[in-house]
Structure 1
Amino acid sequence: MTNNSSTFCKFNEDFKYILLPVSYALVFVVGLALNAMALYVIVFRTKRWKPSTIYMFNLTMCDTLYIFTLPFLIYYYADENDWPFSEPVCKLIRFLFYSNLYGSILFLCCISLHRFVGICYPVRSLNWISARQARLVSVAVWACVLFCQAPVLYFVRTRDVDTERICYDTTSPELFEDFLVYSSIVSVLMFALPFMVVMVCYGLMVRKLLEPGWGSDRGMEGERGGLTARRSKQKSVKMIVIVLAAFMLCFLPFHLTRSLYYSFRYTRQVDPSQISCRLLEASSVAYKVTRPLASANSCVDPILYFLAGQDARSNLTKRSKLPSPKPNTVSR
């Protein structure tokens, strides 16, 4: 961690040279196939883009760009932390890795907010939500992500150690204190706040969906209206389950273990007597184990599109059902 021998801890991290390449390779294969299918349906089989379609397209783009960074990391960790490329490439890969990770979080938040307004304020949502507004929100999200992740291009460094070149996931040891401040701010703004928004939205949505008369305020009366209300409720419940699973299983463990490891590392650097090397190593192992979970989100998001959207399934399965041309008849 530093040049001071009293704060230096040496970890045995051989497990990550198997765990990370294998898990990233699985995410690359499965995630690329699912996201390519989702993009195909959105771009080529969807004629009318609703606001939810626009958000889902941007979410899929985030996941796809994120997946394209994985082959570089697969090679790097399989070669036991020996970066074969230049420092600018290292900076770019880490920048894209985290930009698309947090882009996914923010677009999941947008999708949740969109569904919340449609369920809890069905009449007002007709004026509040439009495709044009969704496009403006998407541009704002991309601008926010790129701005907040730009410091990664400064912090990420490479360093030659013996015969290997390290591409730091964080930053060089001498800049770690500044990086810790930056990382903490990003975690609050781009994970903790969106996570709280999603939880509040879903809590209010569940309460609304459990109301006995839900659906009547949307003009869904009669047998056909009741069927539409049930389908809308099922769609909302599926979305709630999938998005919460993405946050609770993919993003939350990653951010908790990372924050714990960073704080232990900083405390050890300031006062070695406060944190033992064994405790620091345990937090480092936990952090590295949860990193594949964050990557697995790229495989979960397309499931959200195909399971929670009736239009997506119909666009995927529909065939060319255009009526065959009738033979010309001669009028008499």
Structure 2
Amino acid sequence: MATFDNNTTQTNVSAFYCRFNEDFKYILLPVSYALVFVMGLALNATALYVIVFRTKRWKPSTIYMFNLTMCDTLYIFTLPFLIYYYADENDWPFSEPLCKLIRFLFYANLYGSILFLCCISLHRFVGICYPVRSLYWVSARRARLVSVAVWACVLFCQAPVLYFSRTRDVANERICYDTTSAELFDDFLVYSSVVSVLMFAVPFMVVMVCYGLMVRKLLEPSWGSEGEAGGESRGLGAQRQKQKSVKMIIIVLATFMLCFLPFHLTRSLYYSFRYLRQVNPAQISCSLLEASSIAYKVTRPLASANSCLDPILYFLAGQEVRSNLTKKNKSSSSSKPTGVSQGLTTQL
């Protein structure tokens, strides 16, 4: 049986031997994680400040954005440990429980972000395509219940990571596996494949369908009058609502296409090649396995970068958010007709 370690620079096979040159990751990962840490911490801290201290009336989308920001913030605080680990060339100086926790938080952030972005997209889809019915379907109470369900789903589905992630002493180093040990890889492959389908592929398809229907609705010449009749816009022009919706579509799709999709594709490819080489080493060459491993490691910082893109979804939603950053008394004037813009801003 072949044994693989995707954190070390070599891959051992009982009858075959592959040596990987992955020194690039000792520069790529610490530098990229440091950039994500600095930018993500600043952006998410600002977003949390605006949401918690400057937003008096929480709309459903405000609740989703708060949970999304909390999800990102928890992950950002784990990055200093990973920066130190990879800068020290895969020598984990901390305990195994901390290794498990950090790997768990990475995947919890990844799939928590995907699900909350899906919730935001569905919420906006209902408001655009069914403006009258959305008054009955959407409420802050239901948004809280959905958020609790999302967290429960994420924690339940990612709990096995606490089992699979572990440390192992190799030579004079202690490895903190980002997948699992070689003897558990087959089980981890099944688990990872199921999670990828349920928590990435399905939400991604839902988002694409929602945005396709939203774009078709926004392109209708009569769009806007129906929303105003239902009371959704309340003084905001249809053109302004359309601009907000277009911004949301662009940012969310960019997050999926740049952060989530490349990571899942390269990871699936790499895991498949690892498994196939275990079954039949002659079927997958070392060069092919190494190429897939490099591609996977290059996309890992992209997956982390979603922590920087998520707050932008909030800041670019509308003018009210930017005004709240500079005007302390904005909330008093937002109780008038323009006050609805705060709800629509976070509603995106």
Shift of 1:314: 2.9
What residue number does 1:237 align with? 246
The separation in 1 between residues aligned to 2:254 and 2:147, in whole angstroms, is 23
Shift of 1:316: 2.0
Deviations 1:36-65 (A, max 9, x none): 000000000000000000000000001101
What residue number does 1:326 align with? none
Give the match's secondary structure for 1:9.
Answer: strand
Per the alignment, do residues 273 and 33 of structure 1 end up closer, same or farther by CA in structure 2, a change over 3 Å counting?
same
- List runs of 5+ in structure 2 lacking aligned partners: 4-11, 334-348
Asked if 1:37 corresponds to 2:46, the answer is: yes
Shift of 1:180: 0.2
Give the match's secondary structure for 2:92.
Answer: coil
What residue number does 1:114 align with? 123
Q: Aligned Cα RMSD in Å?
A: 1.7
What residue number does 1:282 align with? 291
Q: Is the 1:261–1:283 Cα contact (8 Å) retained in structure 2? A: yes
Shift of 1:225: 7.3
What residue number does 2:338 align with? none
Shift of 1:310: 3.9
Asked if 1:103 corresponds to 2:112, the answer is: yes
Q: Is the 1:220–1:229 Cα contact (8 Å) retained in structure 2? A: no
What residue number does 1:11 align with? 20
Shift of 1:227: 5.4
What residue number does 2:307 align with? 298
- TM-score, normalised to structure 2, is 0.89
Per the alignment, do residues 116 and 310 of structure 1 end up closer, same or farther by CA in structure 2, a change over 3 Å counting?
farther
Asked if 1:258 corresponds to 2:250, the answer is: no
The separation in 1 between residues aligned to 2:135 and 2:320, in whole angstroms, is 19
State the aligned residue count.
Answer: 321
The separation in 1 between residues aligned to 2:120 and 2:236, in whole angstroms, is 24
Shift of 1:66: 1.0
Shift of 1:5: 3.1
Matches within 5 A, 1:1-332: 2=3, 4-219=13-228, 228-320=237-329
What residue number does 1:329 align with? none
The separation in 2 between residues aligned to 1:85 and 1:169, in whole angstroms, is 15
Give the match's secondary structure for 1:213.
Answer: coil
Q: Is the 1:102–1:145 Cα contact (8 Å) retained in structure 2? A: yes
Q: Which has the larger radius of gyration?
A: 1
Give the match's secondary structure for 2:174.
Answer: strand
Shift of 1:18: 0.2
Shift of 1:69: 1.1
Write the letter of the residue equivalent to 1:133. Answer: R
The separation in 1 between residues aligned to 2:27 and 2:58, in whole angstroms, is 42
Shift of 1:226: 8.3
Q: Is the 1:65–1:96 Cα contact (8 Å) retained in structure 2? A: yes
Shift of 1:309: 3.5
Give the match's secondary structure for 2:248.
Answer: helix
Per the alignment, do residues 311 and 131 of structure 1 end up closer, same or farther by CA in structure 2, a change over 3 Å counting?
farther
Per the alignment, do residues 308 and 7 of structure 1 end up closer, same or farther by CA in structure 2, a change over 3 Å counting?
farther
Write the letter of the residue equivalent to 2:187. Answer: D
Write the letter of the residue equivalent to 1:11. Answer: F
Q: Is the 1:66–1:101 Cα contact (8 Å) retained in structure 2? A: no
Q: Is the 1:35–1:63 Cα contact (8 Å) retained in structure 2? A: yes
The separation in 2 between residues aligned to 1:173 and 1:30, in whole angstroms, is 35
The separation in 2 between residues aligned to 1:247 and 1:278, in whole angstroms, is 29
Q: Is the 2:128–2:227 Cα contact (8 Å) retained in structure 1? A: no
Q: Is the 2:29–2:83 Cα contact (8 Å) retained in structure 1? A: yes
Q: Is the 1:123–1:218 Cα contact (8 Å) retained in structure 2? A: yes
Give the match's secondary structure for 1:124.
Answer: helix
Shift of 1:220: 5.9
- List runs of 5+ in structure 1 lacking aligned partners: 324-332
Per the alignment, do residues 166 and 104 of structure 1 end up closer, same or farther by CA in structure 2, a change over 3 Å counting?
same
The separation in 1 between residues aligned to 2:145 and 2:236, in whole angstroms, is 34
Q: Is the 1:34–1:299 Cα contact (8 Å) retained in structure 2? A: yes
The separation in 1 between residues aligned to 2:280 and 2:258, in whole angstroms, is 33
Write the letter of the residue equivalent to 1:29. Answer: V
Shift of 1:4: 3.9
Give the match's secondary structure for 2:282.
Answer: coil
